[in-house]
């Protein structure tokens, strides 16, 4: 046993340092967090309608920007960089949607900007305003990773 302060008795290091075992009591979430269906329904039907009332941070003043993605494919984005930014957070959504309907990205942008971070949000290939800029279809991940790297380099 090693001395771990308040965690004494919960953690045990074996002689092989690559195996660290944490003996914690199991996490038992409340029923509304234990049910994936309940969380999905709540997020889709309730939180998506209430978030603006529960987020005190104002919307950053975004400016539209067209980034050059992999293969010079134009990628539409929104950019808000405060003076003396602590860093820049690049955000996007999952496999469906566009920037106009991603309320959780709007929350991320508000909170990050309020804390002094620059925010870059973008539409994937074949989505939202990027689809208007270019007929290039999604590559199912082949080029999207490089798009993210290109956007980071240009931010």
Quote the tokens at residue 143.
Answer: 């080029």
pLDDT of residue 61: 96
pLDDT of residue 3: 47
pLDDT of residue 63: 97
Q: Domain-by-domain residue ranges, the chain?
A: 63-154
Which residues lie closer than 8 Å to 54 by C-beta, 6 or more apart? none
pLDDT by position in tens, the chain (length 155):
444 444 444 444 444 445 556 677 888 888 877 888 888 888 888 887 888 788 889 999 999 999 999 999 999 999 999 999 999 999 999 888 899 888 889 999 999 999 999 999 999 999 999 999 999 988 888 899 999 999 999 98
Core vs surface per residue 27-48: b (16+ CB within 10 A) or e:
eeeeeeeeeeeeeeeeeeeeee
Q: What distance in Å separates the CA atoms of residue 62 and residue 102, rounded to the nearest whole number? A: 15
- Domain 63-154 belongs to what architecture? 3-Layer(aba) Sandwich (3.40)
Which residues lie closer than 8 Å to 135 by C-beta, 6 or more apart? none
């Amino acid at each position: 046993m090693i001395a771990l302060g308040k965690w004494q008795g919960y953690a045990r290091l074996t002689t092989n340092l690559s195996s660290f075992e944490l003996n914690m009591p199991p996490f038992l979430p409340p029923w509304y967090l234990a049910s994936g269906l309940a969380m999905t329904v709540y997020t889709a039907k309730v939180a998506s309608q209430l978030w603006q009332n529960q987020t005190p941070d104002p919307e950053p003043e975004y400016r539209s920007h067209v980034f050059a993605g992999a293969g010079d494919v134009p990628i539409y984005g929104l950019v808000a960089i405060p003076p003396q930014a602590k860093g820049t957070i690049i955000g996007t959504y999952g496999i469906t949607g566009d920037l106009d309907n991603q309320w959780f990205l709007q929350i991320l942008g508000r909170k990050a900007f309020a804390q002094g971070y620059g925010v870059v949000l973008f539409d994937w290939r074949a989505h939202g305003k990027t689809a208007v800029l270019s007929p290039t279809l999604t590559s199912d991940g082949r080029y999207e990773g490089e798009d993210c790297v290109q956007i980071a380099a240009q931010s």
